[in-house]
Chains A and B, each alone.
Chain A
């Protein structure tokens, strides 16, 4: 863990048409640590997460105010392709392409111009090793990714994101579609990955947030149904001595 901050939002709001989905969020996400975003359903956790790689722009009618900074640079002024190369994402449902295992992992590097065969093969191996999948698939890299189990598919998606060599990895409930054993493997993997990457993970599983993350952000909707950041701090503090009454109510299971 370091005190460095890699991601930062300043007075960040997001609107779907005239509806305010995220309200004035200011937060610093520490580098080389796992930050989890928790909160009840519909509080804007995923929308907030998707702000960091500008995936919300795919939805027609989205408008934002405020700033999102990556290493001090406003991400909305940056080229979106360059940004997404630095900020990778793993989705809720494993979504490998209907291609071979190798081609899945090589997809990003190829898009960004990797042509050298040996280099590509080495990169694919390293990414699969980092995603703790190499030993299970090294003998059939030419097999369809869709033939893997759900947990393997999700680790493949992590490997695919790692292969682009990002600085930040966003994870949107990466284990919610997996069984407990596969979930455990993903959680162990996260601990290994945070040495190299800044990780932001959305989860609706509070135990998971408490187990895996170093910092926790608690979000909740206000009376206008806009998502607000209620509290941010070290995970231990959020779960033992929350400063805000609403955080305490939520983590003690009084609602949500």
Chain B
């Protein structure tokens, strides 16, 4: 017996209409979101492009209200800062992750398990803290208390604190993704834990570890708040690790807020966007190579 003898056709029409409107809604949302993103990138690139010339890359900012000059010194500063931050954060983060996965994760001692819990909680909390807090911490500790001043040193230490959570998290995931069978095989052949980590685990985890470090690079490239209060803002090319300086992202801020050269801020922004796109492409390439090498 049919319970809704007459409902069939209009019910079906209603369902069809529902499907249709839902689909067009999602379609429009997708278009709108993509359009917004493209608009941001497009606006910056279009506005900045006329300023881009070989000179722009090879001359340094001249300071002052007019905002004359290019971005040469800020490129150098950015490069130094990325390098120094990685130099601090990479060994520290990777070693911490090795401890968490390979040692603490393999025992039941209360100390290790307790430490692991605190470390995981810390890493997750730190990842969600606004970056200016890292800046304040870096200012208080490195700039003031340790008398490093506004310098590459202070900024890279504060930057390392900023990217440590992401480096540790990705390194942890990369190490966990190494099949347990590799470790067992190595140990069963008479290798000790350290030999196993060095010769089997780390090489297998290398693409994942690299991905984490590149993510860190992207973070340093795009960060402003932390470096605003630790790096100072000198537009000169740094001469030592105690030199002040400004990264490209900081330079955008200074140009926009303290000079009349708004279009140069846009141009610098465009260069930054291209750089970050390149970094993301690098991540994709590394992870693709990871899956390829795992297939043999």
Which A residues form the contact surface with B (CB < 8 A)?
A: 53, 55, 58, 60-61, 81-82, 84-85, 88-89, 91, 93, 95-99, 107-108, 111-112, 144-148, 157, 160-161, 164
Among listed B39-47, B126-134, B191-199, interface-contacting one: B191-199
Partner of A84, one of B179, B187, B204, B295: B187
B residues within 8 A CB of A164?
189-190
On whether A81 and B296 interact (CB within 8 A), knowing A91-B184, A95-B182, the answer reads no
Decide: A55 and B184 in contact? CB cutoff 8 A.
yes
Decide: B295 and A95 in contact? CB cutoff 8 A.
no
How far, in Å, is A97 (CB) from chain B's closest CB?
6
Q: Tell me the B158-190 residues at the A interface (CB within 8 Å).
A: 179, 181-182, 184-190
On whether A144 and B296 interact (CB within 8 A), knowing A91-B184, A91-B185, A160-B185, the answer reads yes
| Complex CA distance for A93 and B184, rounded to whole angstroms | 11
On whether A108 and B190 interact (CB within 8 A), knowing A98-B204, A146-B294, A147-B296, the answer reads yes
B residues within 8 A CB of A81?
190-192
Partner of B106, one of A55, A58, A84: A58
Decide: B189 and A88 in contact? CB cutoff 8 A.
yes
Partner of B107, one of A60, A89, A97, A98: A60
Which bracket fits the contact residues of B? Answer: 20 to 34
* Interface secondary structure of B, over-half rule: helix
| Complex CA distance for A148 and B296, rounded to whole angstroms | 9
Listed A/B pairs (23) with beta-carbon separation below 8 Å: A53-B188, A55-B187, A55-B188, A58-B187, A60-B107, A84-B188, A84-B189, A84-B190, A88-B188, A95-B182, A98-B182, A98-B203, A99-B203, A108-B189, A108-B191, A111-B190, A145-B296, A146-B294, A146-B296, A148-B296, A157-B185, A160-B189, A164-B190
| Complex CA distance for A144 and B190, rounded to whole angstroms | 23
How far, in Å, is A154 (CB) from chain B's closest CB?
12
| Complex CA distance for A58 and B189, rounded to whole angstroms | 14
Which one of B181, B204, B294 has the highest number of Cβ atoms from chain A below 10 Å of its Cβ?
A: B181
B residues within 8 A CB of A82?
190
On whether A60 and B108 interact (CB within 8 A), knowing A95-B185, A164-B189, A164-B190, the answer reads yes
B residues within 8 A CB of A88?
188-189
Which one of B106, B179, B182, B184 has the highest number of Cβ atoms from chain A below 10 Å of its Cβ?
A: B184
| Complex CA distance for A28 and B25, rounded to whole angstroms | 74
Tally of contacts, chain A with chain B, CB under 8 A: 74
Is B24 positioned at the interface, with any CB of A under 8 Å from its CB? Answer: no
How far, in Å, is B85 (CB) from chain A's closest CB?
30
A residues within 8 A CB of B200?
97
Decide: B195 and A89 in contact? CB cutoff 8 A.
no
- Kindly list 17 other residue pairs between chains A and B, CB separation below 8 angstroms, not including A58-B184, A61-B108, A111-B199: A58-B187, A85-B190, A91-B184, A95-B181, A98-B204, A108-B190, A111-B189, A111-B190, A111-B191, A111-B195, A144-B293, A145-B296, A146-B294, A146-B295, A160-B189, A161-B189, A164-B190
Closest to A143 in B: B296
Which 6 A-B pairs give the minimum distances between C-beta atoms? A146-B296, A95-B181, A60-B108, A108-B189, A147-B296, A89-B188
Closest to B112 in A: A60
Closest to A57 in B: B187
| Complex CA distance for A201 and B216, rounded to whole angstroms | 48
Decide: B189 and A95 in contact? CB cutoff 8 A.
no
B residues within 8 A CB of A111?
189-191, 195, 199
A residues within 8 A CB of B199?
107, 111
On whether A107 and B204 interact (CB within 8 A), knowing A93-B181, A98-B293, the answer reads no
A residues within 8 A CB of B107?
60
How far, in Å, is A243 (CB) from chain B's closest CB?
34
How far, in Å, is B194 (CB) from chain A's closest CB?
11
B residues within 8 A CB of A160?
185, 189
How far, in Å, is A18 (CB) from chain B's closest CB?
13
